[in-house]
Structures are given as C-alpha cells and as structure tokens.
Amino acid sequence: MTTRTAVVTGASSGIGRATAIALAKTGWDVVGVARRAERLQELADAHGIAVFAADLTDPTDVAALADWLQKRGAVHSVVQVAGGAAGTERVEDGRPEDWEWMFQANVLATQRLVSALLPQLRAASAAGSHADLVFVTSTAAQTAYPGGGGYNAAKAGESMLVQALRLELNGEPIRVVEIAPGLVHTEEFTLNRLRGDDAAAQKVYQDVEAPLVAEDVADVIAYALNAPAHVNLDLVTMRPVAQAAAHLLARGPLRPRGYES
C-alpha cells in the first residue's frame, strides 16, 4: 500500500504541530509548513517529518512550496491550519492593518494554497486514490462576539470559501472538511492576539476546567483523514464541555446540578 502524503500548514506550533505529529504517528508521510524555519527544524529532528519554510501570505513562497512538492512526489491531503487573530478592539476602534492582516492570513492565504495545490491533489486522485482538503476555521466563523469583529469576519470568510469549494468539487474524489474549534489553549494563539500580554492571555483560560488543547483538535483531523474514503466530515464544531457557546463559558469546577456545595 502506497504511503499517503499530507501537507500540514502552521506546523511550527499549536494545532498545526500537533496535527503533523498525530498524522506521522498513524503512518502518514507528513510535510510541515510554516514561516519559522528553526521551529520546523525542531519538528523534523524530533519526529522525522519533512518540512518547508513558507509564508502563505507571500505568493512567491506559495509558488515555491507548490514547485517543491511537485518535485518531491504525490500529495494526497492538505491540512490548512495557518492563520491567526490580531487584537480584541471593538469594530469602531479596530486597526485597519490588523483587519487586513487577518484577511490575508485566514482567507487569501487559504485561497492561494488551494489554487496552488489542488492540481496535485487531482493528480493523486486520478492515480487511483482519493484526496483531502481540511481547513481549521473557528467557532468565531459561526457566532459574533464583542471585540471579535475582525476575526469573526476573517474566519467567516474562510468558512464561506470552504463551503463554496465543496460545492465546486462535487463529483470529484476530493473530500472537503472543515473543523471549527472553540476555546483551545495553545502556547501562542491568544498571546499573539493580545500582542504579547502574557497576563491577559492567561486570564482567557483562568478557572476554565479542561479547555481544549491542540492535541484534541489534531485527533479529530486525524480521524477525518483516516476515515473510509466515502466518509466526509463536512463540518465539525468542537468545544470544551465548559463552553456551551462562544459567549457562555463556565469558570470553576464542573458539577452536576444540586451538588454545588
């Protein structure tokens, strides 16, 4: 049986890194992609994963990645994790440069990646295998919240891209999967969003019992890719039990009703 190859973006940290490791453990040939070459090299050294440094907001880097992959061999799956949030200002106070970056990182980078790598996925499916496109969006794409306007808009744009793509690829042996996590405690996402304010970042998760971690999301991605070829997980929305909705987050121990004392 031919080993299947998965390209995982955002692989230098968080969900992307956890996904690359999870797929490698289940027998995939993994190519990790991210901007930070030194972090990628740590991943390669520790887990034997092939890596390629690229900034997906740079068309030249995306073209170089596609060319390198074409020479390397077949690509069966692409997992688009790279993206991010910047700021928590109200819409009226938002920084246009932050909104522009979020649209570039979450929407345009995703479109560039699809456009560049879809021919290789089609080639793999034409050779007798199915292919996969997996996108990590967010529950921010589904429900707006105060201070989230820019990220809400960017992730909703990415989610609409995914939904349109699934319709456009109907009839081809290519699965299009969207994973939309809620609160995930990773080392960098909230810290970057809050411009390096570690104290403020820690408050986001304070007293929340068992928020999701990167490995939880990676497990779902691995399941989606390892499921039988005819099974497509169109949309998986996942949250910690403590988070019933984007605006409803329990802080403190979870207890059955009537056992609060």
Q: Determine whether 259 is an active site residue.
A: no
Tokens 């793999």 sit on residue: 124
Long-range contacts of range 62-66, CB-CB < 8 Å, 24 or more positions apart? 62/109, 62/112, 62/113, 62/116, 63/116, 65/33, 65/116, 66/116, 66/117, 66/120
Q: How far is the C-alpha of 205 from the C-alpha of 3, rounded, in Å?
A: 39
Q: How far is the C-alpha of 4 from the C-alpha of 74, rounded, in Å?
A: 8
Q: What share of the chain is helix, strand, coil (3-state, %, to 5)?
A: 45, 20, 35
With the CA atoms of 198, 201, 202 and 203 taken in that order, what torsion angle do they form, in degrees rounded to the nearest 10? 130
AA letter at 68: W
- How far the first Cα of the chain sits from its last, in Å, is 57
Q: How far is the C-alpha of 175 from the C-alpha of 6, rounded, in Å?
A: 13
Task: Yes or no: say if 236 and 176 are a contact pair by the CB < 8 Å rule.
Answer: no
From 151, 205, 223, 259, active-site residue: 151
Residues with catalytic roles: 151
